[in-house]
Structure 1
């Protein structure tokens, strides 16, 4: 199949394209812009020159054989890309051009992308449909099939199953730390030792404790032995009680000494803090005096600079006002010139359409007189009003309708048969209600009666455009 890359110097694009259409190892290729100067819009530039300059810099980004998922991995979300895809669905191959135009790009870049899309279509002539998307999640086998078969859908895939995230793993509960009450309950016991009263005889509790720790006195000992042992235990209890009183006195003395040391250190710290505060107060007073003097000097300097700035600002505003007035005059002149050129262009287009309409009426009468069923045939790319998808179709005009086919080789039955007799309301240029077609060469729109959605179209050449518009005007 012929392939014309006269506007591109990248031989890799040609090789990748041939591999895709000949069912070789590749099934997709991806194009994007290089670093080229962005052309300015001008009605003086011819449509062919605009198309060549706006498609300049297209480069092969990547190519692969793993299908749409691999293609999506190479697409940058904020850049315009064009792809040529061979998708195998239900035993049939589909060749589709994909134009990825993000929503967040500027209007000028969007216009450039639409013009470049027309150039890409002329390169990849084997395509069966065009899919224009703004989000890569819309690129799937269903949308590819819809771009070729369906007249109005953009190919959104609504059958993708939703994924349910796996349940979170269950962990065994970690042992919790005891509460503060429990911690205090099992902490070291408080010091419950109390100073024993000074008495010549031991207390009853101490005697009972010593007696409970001593082995029981046998009831069979003689009374003298039992009395001796009882006195021995009482003396030992007195000794233990005196030792306990001495230890308690030492502990209380140690606590008192510690409190005295803490009080002494606190007084010394307070004295040092007072001295430090006095030094800090003196330093701050000195610093405040120096700062006030510096502020007075700085205020005088600010006043001088403010006056100087006011003078410079006044001079700058005067110069800026002069530049704005000059720019406004130039802009008004440019707008008037553009309006004049656009009016001239519209006048020339109207004359050319009038001539084409007259020629179409004459040719239609001759073909009807000769009994020819097909009045005109050729290729056209069209878009229905609510759809974003452009479809390239081979058409045949008869005396009553416009039959649309997938290609000129497959004309067993039309994909769509548009009734034209007493159905067309108008055939308009882009400036007659089809502003979206301004950046697309050889484009026009047709308006139906009875509230039917209008169609946007463009042909491969300017001659084909006016010839088709002339024939369509015969149905209005």
Structure 2
């Protein structure tokens, strides 16, 4: 839940405020969900900052306030979270305000607002404890104002016509007439103070604005009031009963200043003891008290005698008052406890709400992170599938191209094979024709040979002779021999000159036939002028070739 404060305009604006320049406020706003930027900077203070707020958006501000004497500057962090924003944004703003506060380290207090009407300089100064600093009072003494206000708030109920003649006791620093002083006066003997012994208080020094104040602010030289006549502790009883001495009823400390309890101490015994009061009377050297209903021209009369402390009605009223006051105190205490419990409950609910909001925000953030991870995973999966699809398409394209190349190569090879086959067929045809011609020639030659080999009746000499290379099938070696063909046999000699005895002889009656290489003797195909001599029995044929074709028929 971190916030991005890397905007380049934020830090210079903050430095310009804390260094004492004319700028005294800045304002931050959300650019995105977790990024802030500087949206305002000025010299008009809180008022100008307020004019730049949007009642439906979240803002963070930093403002400078000076004391009345301008001796020191004070800084406050302002958080504006309107009520209309959701709980998630509120919790996020609460977390992000801490990050903003850690950046603006000069702030002395944090002020949170939920409405634009709350954004005032007085609230900011109150948060900075600047409202109690000395300021111009236009000539009025601060202590006098405070005591006069307290006297007005804590004064007795509106006196009756009889009570208006009662002298007013000097107020204590707490703003209430002290009961102990009244009791001391009641116990002391009455003294008639002469006007000549009255010490006139020193005149007040003129203050600023004193000429504009009414004349009642001056202290008249009036004598102090005569203390009331003491009341005897011994009360009158019925005839025939002994006198009863009573002790004053103890008064609780919290009730000593109550008007119902103070009432018995304010008594005047005679008209001579009731002085005439001026319009204003100095109660202390610094405090002026103006009675409500006392006129300088009024004729003061003695009040009627008040009931004594032992009067059953007084005691009953006092007990009733104490009971009612005790009940009131108990009710106030109960109410205070209920208010404290309610405040604690509200605070507990607020903390629980903040915890729930923070937990909800955390869950939403975790859910957003999970969604982001799922989206990232889906994106990577989609990219992987797209890459595989592209690779598959490339492979298919390459395979198609390879098939095209193979088909083209096969077609070309087939064309070449067709050409070669045609050439081969042509060559075969030519070879067949050549072989046919050769075979025909050989057949004609063999026919001629056979005709020559057939001996004529009565022939006994050599029919044909010459050199021939022969291979007896069993030996596998070619040997050159000189032969003589006679009607009865074929004799083979080592040479024409060495004809002492034949090396081998084949009888004509054992000769089966003469065959060419294409009649089952392919090994003789490459040998020119070759032929095979086959026998009638189981002997293997003999192979021959002559030097020239003419040697086969010439001697």
Shared fold per TM-score greater than 0.5: no
Q: Which has the larger radius of gyration?
A: 2
Give the helix-richer structure, 1 or 2: 1
- Per the normalisation by structure 2, the TM-score is 0.28
Q: Relative CO higher for 1 or 2, CA cutoff 8 Å, sep ≥ 6?
A: 1
